[in-house]
């Protein structure tokens, strides 16, 4: 998880791998969901009843799995999102709601007559929200502490000398605790054509020099700072960089824009960023219909005594109408009133 590197002060620092950190966060999230479920079972008073432990194990497994899937699908484990608390609010809230919903559906389908478990889904969802929110706040503070110590600092080499790369370098310089620019390289390197310095960063040579430097010193990321229209130059540079041992990325001119991780797509062979979609399209419509159905069933089961009072009122009104010859209305209300609501009690 850690590697040793010598900082500018000559002190040996431990670098933390971002990929391993996010993997550990995934495991801890799963453990927190499991603890939240066990605590909810204890609070609901169902953990000490042996006949309910099999059902509890099933619902806990489904709830924990649902929470992990929702967090992963919302991109909650990106390092940039772990650094920002606001970007974690929606994934955590959505995970808590869907965990409670999944447990409610499971209990309704398997054993709707288990009175001890009726409070369990809501307590499970509340625990999930509290545990994940507290963990994310603590993790954010820890990441900030590590970043100030240079534990996540990445060494970046920039390819291409132009206005586009100049803006890219300036934005990297705004985060000195996160990035260290080792140099600028250009494939058109020739006397008088490319300056020797760009934004106080030395132009160290050509793309071939970059390949050799990446083998001799630690370079984490190589960023090709060219507009996407420069197809031939990009292809030439990427072909030469295939022999490097660093991560290679192609920058895009999106500075100042706010976008989600899932907005990148393509129209034919053209890369695009999706700004808006048709409301309730395809899968979204199916999810909305399912959510509406679950919410309606939960409301009906939770307020059955109140529904029975309403049916008493309707039946009394229908009896009055039957005196004036409206027998069909009265018989319809009697059929509805004959439904057995006794097992339903408010949570």
Task: Please tell me the total number of residues recorded for the chain in this structure.
Answer: 347
Domains and CATH numbers, the chain: 2-148 (no CATH), 154-273 (3.40.50.720), 302-347 (no CATH)
Give the pLDDT confidence score for residue 132 in this predicted structure. Answer: 94
**How far apart, in whole angstroms, are the C-alpha atoms of residue 195 and residue 163?**
12
Q: How far apart are CA 298 and CA 282, in angstroms?
A: 25
- In order along its 347 residues, the chain shows pLDDT tens digits of 434 444 444 444 577 888 889 999 999 999 999 999 999 988 877 766 666 677 888 888 999 999 999 999 888 888 888 888 788 888 999 999 999 999 888 877 876 666 667 788 889 999 999 999 999 999 999 998 888 888 888 889 999 888 888 888 888 888 888 888 999 998 777 656 778 888 888 888 888 888 888 888 888 888 888 877 788 888 888 888 887 878 888 887 665 566 666 666 666 556 666 666 655 555 666 677 777 777 776 666 555 555 556 555 555 555 554 444 444 444 444 444 444 444 444 44
Give CA–CA dist 29/286, Å, rounded. 28
Give this prediction's pTM.
0.63
pLDDT of residue 153: 86
C-alpha dist (Å) from residue 273 to 47, 249, 262, 312: 49, 17, 9, 56
- Give the pLDDT of residue 131: 95
DSSP 325: T
Q: What is the pLDDT of residue 68?
A: 93
**How many angstroms separate the CA atoms of 347 and 121, rounded?**
10
Helix (H, G, I), strand (E, B) or coil at 17: coil
């Amino acid at each position: 998880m850690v590697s040793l590197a010598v900082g500018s002060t000559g002190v040996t620092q431990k670098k933390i791998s971002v990929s391993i950190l996010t993997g550990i966060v995934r495991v801890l999230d799963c453990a927190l969901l499991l603890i939240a479920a066990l605590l909810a079972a204890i609070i609901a008073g169902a953990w000490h009843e042996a006949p309910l432990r099999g059902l509890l194990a099933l619902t806990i497994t489904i709830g924990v799995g649902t929470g992990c899937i929702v967090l992963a699908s919302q991109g909650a484990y990106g390092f940039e999102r772990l650094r920002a608390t606001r970007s974690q609010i929606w994934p955590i809230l959505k995970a808590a709601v869907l965990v409670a919903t999944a447990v409610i559906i499971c209990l309704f389908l398997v054993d709707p007559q288990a009175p001890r478990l009726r409070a369990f889904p809501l307590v499970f969802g509340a625990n999930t929200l509290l545990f994940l929110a507290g963990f994310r706040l603590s993790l954010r503070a820890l990441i900030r502490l590590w970043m100030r110590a240079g534990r996540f600092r990445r060494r970046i080499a920039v390819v291409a000398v132009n206005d586009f790369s100049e803006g890219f370098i300036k934005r990297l310089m705004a985060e000195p605790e996160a990035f260290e620019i080792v140099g600028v390289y250009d494939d058109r390197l020739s006397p008088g054509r490319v300056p020797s310095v760009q934004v106080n960063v030395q132009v160290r040579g050509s793309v071939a020099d970059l390949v050799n430097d990446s083998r001799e010193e630690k370079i984490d990321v190589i960023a090709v700072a060219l507009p996407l229209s420069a197809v031939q130059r990009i292809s030439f540079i990427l072909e030469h960089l295939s022999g490097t041992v660093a991560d290679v990325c192609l920058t895009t001119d999106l500075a100042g824009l706010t976008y989600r991780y899932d907005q990148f797509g393509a129209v034919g062979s053209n890369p695009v960023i999706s700004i808006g979609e048709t409301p309730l399209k395809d899968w979204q419509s199916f999810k909305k219909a399912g959510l509406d159905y679950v919410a309606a069933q939960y409301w009906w089961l939770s307020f059955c005594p109140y529904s029975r009072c309403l049916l008493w009122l309707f039946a009394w009104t229908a009896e009055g109408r039957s005196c004036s010859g409206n027998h069909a209305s009265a018989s319809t209300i009697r059929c509805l009133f004959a439904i057995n609501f006794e097992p339903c009690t408010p949570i």
